[in-house]
Amino acid sequence: MELRELKGVGIQLEKKLNSLNIYTIEDLQEYYPYRYNFIKIEHLQDISDNETCTIKGTIVDSGRVYYIKRNFNRLNFKVASDNILLNVTIFNRAFLKPNLTVSKEILLVGKYNKLKNSFVASDIKFNVIDNRIEPVYHLVEGLNNATITKIINESLNYINDIDYIPDIYNEKYNFISKRNAINIIHNPKDKDNLKKAIVRLKYEELFNFMFKINYLKKLNSKVKGIKRDVDINSIADFKNALTFELTPDQDSAINDIYNDLTCESRMNRLVLGDVGSGKTIVATYAIYLNFLSGYQSALMAPTEILAMQHYNSLKNILEKFNIKIALLTGSLKKKDKDVILNDLREGNIDLIIGTHALISQGVAFKNLALVVTDEQHRFGVGQRNTLRDKGITPDVLYLSATPIPRTYALTIYGDLDLSIIKTKPMGRKEIITHVKKESEIKDVLMSMLEELKLGHQIYVVSPLIENNETLDLKSVFDLKEKLEMAFNNQVNIGILHGKLKPQEKDEIMNDFKDGKIKILISTTVIEVGVDVPNTTMIVIYNAERFGLATLHQLRGRVGRNDMQSYCYLVSNMDIERLKVLEESNDGFYISEKDYQMRGSGDLFGVKQSGEMQFKIANLKDDYQILLQTQKDAEEYIKKELYLDNNYYKKVIESISFIN
């Protein structure tokens, strides 16, 4: 059934629902409230003066509308409540006047002034239910809570009875039915039943997720890989060719990779490391070992800037071993691209580095046996597997600079083997971080001037590209103008943001790397991978707009040398939260704090092809439920109980297809 078939849904409303990722009746039913208003009706004699409250009353007159100025009005009317006649005022609700029918009962939410015997309302509810629980939904402009509530309730007449929780666990935990749970979560009558509905729906969502994770793990364990016959001395040969010493964590990860690549099972490993911890050199060893066995490797990065950076850094190391490297990106000229594609097919290229251009049609390998995916969460499952399927059951190595607590990582990445890098390379100094209010901006500017005098470069980050009338945030263009004024137009300042064409980004980034641009103003496009060692300071405006984990990622763009580096977080809000970054440079500690304060959304950051986008579950709040579903899913798979469940048989078919 289509959305447009629902009563009250026209073209415009359908577009607004689509903007909330609601495209089907099921999407609408699963668009759960993000919180609830527990409305308790109070009596006037029990209310303190100017206290926010909810009262019940009867309309005495239909009221009058006063237009104060353009786009601002006041609606006045009288209500009888607890035998007291109240003068009610509500602002910018002139459209409600036709609903003010004399003798009709209503609920008023607002503040009561005893002295003036007046009530300033913030909301009027015409559907009077004593002590009710009101669901509150995330909205978009032009869509109010009342409208989406009405449309959702209309959709509840068409609930699909498919239950994703196997009968064995429905009975074990005495869950209420799926139909009842969905009805209750949108129309709760009491807290106890609401809790039962929420727990049931969270369990279902997390069980579904953990079933897929555990089944992937089962499939991966059965896949035969390429057993490479390479002497363990290859590790020593590789380390001897480096101009720096590896950290203990890097050593451990390299040993993990050696064991993976020299056994019969296919490698499926995630290297999880803090920013600047040296994950790339670990991946470089995997590529080196794969080359010694006579096979090709591919490294896929999310952006051209990062792909280019990998190309330049790996070239310096791997050319010592006569490993032939090429770079493939979408901006290459056709002539150059055709040469690379031909060399790749013929086996004349040992390592290809690129963006998602690597998974396009026409890219073929002679004997691809290792796939490395950097910032793996930024690619969908389908994209990652398309590249992997271009090889001969190649081993897979994922890299991620999103540090998360180990316990969570072991659960949500349960289908992968895990190597964690926490220690930083020797010689790196801790980044000194300061939280500053905008009134202290002169201190920030003076520090910037000191770094510029030393010949160093600076990043400045803004959350916006252009000024937004509804948000008081600094845009990159606004910042450029102000910084040019502050430095008397004596400093070359560049702008980098996501709307620029790839060629424009590359030109700006190359100018910055070459030192032609001294201050680079950017959006969070620099969050991942951009590495300019001469940059010793990053200034982040409106820092309260970012999660701690994101701010830590941004901060990691500096401190990539042996010079002292600095980070300034400029904000007038949320100061205590931001001070966590003054306390520590440990990404795992910071991610734990971020997790405690903001939940899992900011922690994982980017949508992973739907696999981490839970509709009701929250990995932080519901970790105990997640652990239980992990145990139950393992049991369900081990005992092969899914063979009698049509839904999970289809899930297995889809997993087997993409795997």
pLDDT by residue (tens digit) across 38-88? Answer: 888 999 999 988 888 999 999 999 899 999 887 899 999 999 999 999 999
Q: Is the pLDDT of residue 530 over 70?
A: no
Contacts of 262 (CB under 8 A, 6+ apart): 227, 228, 229, 230
Adjacency order of strands within the sheet including 432-436 = 432-436, 566-570, 535-541, 457-461, 519-522, 493-496
* Partners of 134 in the β-ladder: 37
Q: How many CB atoms lie within 10 A of CB 453?
A: 8
- Give pTM, 2 decimals: 0.66
pLDDT by residue (tens digit) across 313-371? Answer: 899 889 889 999 999 987 788 899 999 999 999 999 999 999 877 877 788 899 999 98
Contacts of 336 (CB under 8 A, 6+ apart): none
pLDDT by residue (tens digit) across 96-114? Answer: 999 999 999 999 999 999 8
Instruction: Tell which wins on pLDDT, 458 or 50.
Output: 458
Domain over 40-131 is classified CATH 3.30.465.10:
no
CA 150/CA 7 separation, integer angstroms: 10
Q: Quick one: fold of 432-584?
A: Rossmann fold (3.40.50)
Amino acid of residue 12 = Q
Q: Which structure tokens are listed for 244?
A: 């720096």
CB 372 within 8 A of CB 399: yes
Q: What per-residue confidence (pLDDT) applies to 202?
A: 96
Q: What per-residue confidence (pLDDT) applies to 470?
A: 43
What is the arithmetic mean of pLDDT over 182-195? 95
**233-263+278-400 and 432-584 share one CATH topology?**
yes
- The DSSP code sequence of 364-415 is --SSEEEEEEETGGGS-HHHHHHHHTTSSS-EEEEEE-----HHHHHHHTTT
Domain ranges of the chain: 40-131, 233-263+278-400, 432-584
Q: What percent of the chain has pLDDT over 70?
A: 90
pLDDT by residue (tens digit) across 249-304? Answer: 999 999 999 999 999 888 889 998 877 788 999 999 999 999 999 999 999 888 77
Q: Is the pLDDT of residue 379 over 50?
A: no
Amino acid of residue 562 = D
Q: Which CATH class is domain 233-263+278-400?
A: alpha beta
